[in-house]
Amino acid sequence: MQLEELSHGQRQRLAFIDFSLQYFGEISRQDLISRFATGLAAATRDFAMYRELAPDNMQLVHQTKRYHRQPGFKALFPHDPAVILHGLAQGFGDGLSHPKNPSDICFDAVALIHPEPEIVAAVMRAIQANASLKVRYVSTSSGETRREIVPHALVNNGQRWHVRAYDRLNQQFTDFVINRIKSIGGFGEPVVQHERSEADAHWQRMLCLKLIPHPSLKYPEAIELDYGMQNGVLDVRCRGALAGYLLRQWSVDCSPRHQISSGVCQLALQNLEILREIEHSSIVPGAQSR
């Protein structure tokens, strides 16, 4: 039987199986039942149909009663990594990530960077398995190197996707641009406690950024309306590891006296003392002048 001959509902369920194997490395019948509110018999038929269409994609591990992704896995459905990542960030994802026809009246920002599906999937599986990865990575400072990283999160910094991970080469937590990972050589050595997300101090530290209209603006109410400010202040909670990206993305003036021209910055940081607690402070507008 071909995919085109199946009902829309069954294609949805098979796409979810395909998505889970690709991005999480495993799935159970209970996962399918919980997602689609289907019965055990129907779930069993779906897994049998998936195995018929892709016999080399998964293997049932009887001890855990879960189907695991096999080395020869080939996706049955096209999974757009940008759609998958945004969906996962919002707490959902069903594998049905087919690109939609663009609207004639509603336009989003143009995306210049597009993650590679196989790289994204391998990173997601490592996060799910609490495993390390062997990668070939290219940086602007040191060129191509071979590294072992322990990823624990995928982060959109407003322009591109990063992997938050422990870097065994430099023995610290840092961010890797996902498009700069040229290849992945499989899992590395077992993960130890100081490499886990719980030990990532900047990641675990939650901060409150107080954003205000730039003092040089003649009509600050316009900015208050833009951001839904209360009493002229917008409180933004974020992780210390991500605060620098946010302040740069929104061009927030973090200079001591908010002296950056309002033509460049429409927002300013009210609680400047918080800069001592964020990572990547060098990329924050005006912070270098402190």
103-127 residues labelled b (16+ CB within 10 A) or e (exposed): eeeeeeeeeeeebebebbbbbbbbb
Residue 281 CA: distances (Å) to CA of 113, 136, 152, 287: 24, 27, 22, 7
pLDDT at 289: 46
Report d(CA 95, CA 90) in Å as an integer: 14
Are the C-beta atoms of residues 287 and 260 closer than 8 Å to each other? no
Instruction: Give the number of other CB atoms < 10 A from CB of residue 128.
Output: 13
Report d(CA 250, CA 253) in Å as an integer: 9
Pull the structure tokens for residue 45. 């038929």
pLDDT averaged over every residue in the chain: 90
Pull the structure tokens for residue 268. 């300013």
pLDDT at 143: 95
Q: Which residue has the tokens 């049932």?
A: 60
Amino acid, res. 215: P
Per-residue pLDDT reduced to its tens digit, 71-127: 999 999 887 777 777 767 765 555 454 444 555 666 667 778 888 889 999 999 999
Amino acid, res. 123: V
pLDDT at 110: 73
Report d(CA 96, CA 88) in Å as an integer: 12
Would strands 133-139 and 26-28 be described as parallel, antiparallel, or unpaired? unpaired
Pull the structure tokens for residue 25. 């490395």
Instruction: Give the number of other CB atoms < 10 A from CB of residue 250.
Output: 16
Per-residue pLDDT reduced to its tens digit, 23-41: 889 999 999 999 899 999 9
pLDDT at 111: 76
Pull the structure tokens for residue 56. 């080399």
Enumerate residue ranges in the chain where pLDDT < 70. Answer: 87, 90-108, 262, 288-290
pLDDT at 248: 94
Pull the structure tokens for residue 50. 């998936």
Report d(CA 93, CA 91) in Å as an integer: 7
pLDDT at 101: 54
Are the C-beta atoms of residues 207 and 239 closer than 8 Å to each other? yes
